[in-house]
Structure 1
Amino acid sequence: MAAWAKTLGTLAATLVIWVALADGAEAQTSDLVSTNALRVCADPANLPMSAKTEDGFENTLAELIGSKLELPVQYTWYPMATGFIRNTLKAKQCDLVIGYAQGHELVLNTNHYFTSVYSLIVPAGGDLAGVTSLQDPALKGRRIGIIAGTPPSAHLARNGLVGKAKAYNLVVDRRHESPAADMLNDLEAGDIDAAILWGPIGGPLVKQNHPDLKLIPLVSETLPPRLFFRITMGVRQGEKVWQRKLNSLIRRHQDEINAVLFDAGVPLVTDLGKDVIEPPQ
């Protein structure tokens, strides 16, 4: 009995230590997140999403989140390129990335707050305005602008549309080069016949600067690679308390988040990317 008592005492002491360590780890993780400001990591030249002028739709979302948390928004600016997470979020210079693709291991993802899709952009009054799929024969022989290396490139190749396609750079310093804006300017100038862009980039640019162009979300594509993606917010790995707080905020204020995205011109689709979500009237 004495031996059993000693063993149980040791187990109890070990359990207390583990609980204390767990509580301490959670407290330490929570302490990394500022309680004085909503510290956001963002690209200073990534319109229509974010900019140092704070007129991107991610800037508007940051203000919305800050208002719900009753915290002022404070930015750490860094180009969205290699080293972005390492030099911002992981360096504890900030606590939140507003837009990050679901499932990326560099961050701990919140629940997704919207789903969008690559989109075809054409002249609104032209003969391609009725196209809804990259398999449409009307696209044969047309010069289509595409960001090199993005998922729609595979669809262009499958449908025999690569030969006349015009590729635009994928990895650039947006302070000096803007492939999406260049592509839409080329489309309006007639240098290309159509453009394909990620919806959250193409949609706002069309709405803001190109009223004579039409954006067509590519929800009809059934073959891989998929063209729709769920977008989350990113926090540091291990910060489950902060993640859960943001998940709750997203759930309670989804309608307000959607309103910001609709106002910006972001095309929203259902979670499986099959149907376009229309803004409320």
Structure 2
Amino acid sequence: MKNVFFTVMFAAGAFVCAAAPAQTAGGTLRVCADPAYLPFSNRDGQGFENAVASYVARQLGDKLEYVWADSRGPGGFNEYLARNLDAGRCDLVMNLPYGNQEELTTSPYYVSSYVFVFKKARGYDLKSLDSPVLRKLKIGFESETPAESGLQLRGMVTAAKAYDIGDASGESPRRMLEDVEKGTVDVMITWQPAISAFLDDFPELTTVPLPNSRATGSPEMYSFPMSMAVRKDDSALKARLDALIKTHGSQLEAILRRHGVELTGDGTG
């Protein structure tokens, strides 16, 4: 799976940013969103990004307006940002890794991580990608993500099964859980928010976060602070959002938890 939020972190190249008026209270908050990519967002407002956007707009005193666009189309998430946020069609993206160099990111409003997903009954002792039992199991992973890099580093990627749920195929992340349930793979490695809303439907499965720290070797990143993002020239909207995150952080986290998003530490290990 080409995880849209992490593919964009490492992409090279710059976009031309269109100028936009500063946001003021009582205005319209135009949010870029995918119309059919749960658990992130959809037209019916069922995703956790929808819920966060609605709360943010209310607290800012703005009218919420969506700009719908497929985030998994040709060109991937970078092209999605270029055609929508950077082109000035909308003002805000709800979910991007903190410190992304292509856009201006707010202070983080949550931290989550990649997880192992497996059947509870199996009781696998999984503490990291270095856990010995992993070499005896059929592993599934999201392609073009830190999980793939970690498996490559250990010479385990060729024996594993890659999933491209986040590409133009339009498949739901739910498929990854279905494959664990069916036994197609023994353990799946995925970004937890991508499966958050579906986990209640699979009570026989459990998740274990991947740690950033390692017993030996250089640290690896599997836990990430996540932000909202605006165009690089829109520091006024960023300032408003940063102030909201500072004063309403606990409310935002409560929204995420209600949607099944597992929150971790500070993203540093």
Identify whether the pair has TM-score above 0.5, normalized to the shorter chain.
Answer: yes
Alignment deviations for residues 50-70 of structure 1 (CA, whole Å, 9 cap, x no partner): 112210001000111011112
| 1:206-225 alignment, distance < 5 Å | 206-207=199-200, 209-219=201-211, 221-222=213-214, 223-225=218-220
**Aligned ranges 1:29-178 → 2 under 5 Å:** 30-31=21-22, 35-80=26-71, 81=76, 82-128=78-124, 130-169=125-164, 171-173=166-168, 176-178=170-172
Q: Contact conserved, 1:41 with 1:95, CA < 8 A, in 2? A: yes
Contact between 2:142 and 2:164, CA under 8 Å: does it hold in 1? yes
Deviations 1:131-162 (A, max 9, x none): 22221112222101101121112222344433
Q: Find the counterpart in structure 1 of residue 12 from structure 2.
A: none
Contact 1:117 1:273 in 2 (8 A): no
Q: 1:92-119: CA deviations, max 9, x gaps?
A: 2211111111222321111111111111
**CA offset digits 1:154-183 (Å, max 9, x no partner):** 222344433431111165126x323x3222
Deviation at 1:123, TM superposition (A): 0.5
Change (3 A) 1:32 1:249: closer
Deviation at 1:219, TM superposition (A): 2.0
Q: Given that residues 140 and 160 in structure 1 are in contact (C-alpha distance below 8 angstroms), is that contact kept between their aligned partners in structure 2?
A: no
Alignment correspondent of 2:247? 252
The answer on 1:233 being equivalent to 2:228 is yes
Contact 1:134 1:221 (C-alpha < 8 Å) held by counterparts:
no
* Aligned residue identity for 2:209: P
Report the residue type matching 2:258 in the other structure: D
Residue 186 of structure 2 corresponds to: 193
Cα distance in 2 between the residues matched to 1:205 and 1:29 = 37
Q: How many residues align?
A: 243
Contact 2:117/2:188 (8 A) holds in 1: yes
- The structural deviation recorded for 1:245 is 0.7
Q: Secondary structure at the match of 1:185?
A: helix
Give, in whole Å, the separation in 1 of the partners of 2:53 and 2:259. Answer: 14
Larger radius of gyration: 1
Query: Structure 2 stretches of 5 or more lacking a match?
Result: 1-18
State how far apart, in whole Å, the 2-side matches of 1:29 and 1:164 are: 49
Aligned to 1:204: 197
Equivalent position of 1:18 in the other structure: none
**Greater RCO (Cα-Cα under 8 Å, separation 6 or more):** 2
Distance 1:34 1:248 in 2: 13
CA contact (8 A) 1:154 1:225 kept: no
Q: Does the 8 Å contact 1:117/1:218 carry over to 2?
A: yes
- TM-score for the superposition, normalised by structure 1: 0.79
Give the CA deviation at 1:33: 7.0
Q: Which residue of 1 aligns with 2:14?
A: none
User: Compared with structure 1, are the counterparts of its residues 86 and 155 closer, same or farther at alpha carbon in structure 2 (3 Å cutoff)?
Assistant: closer
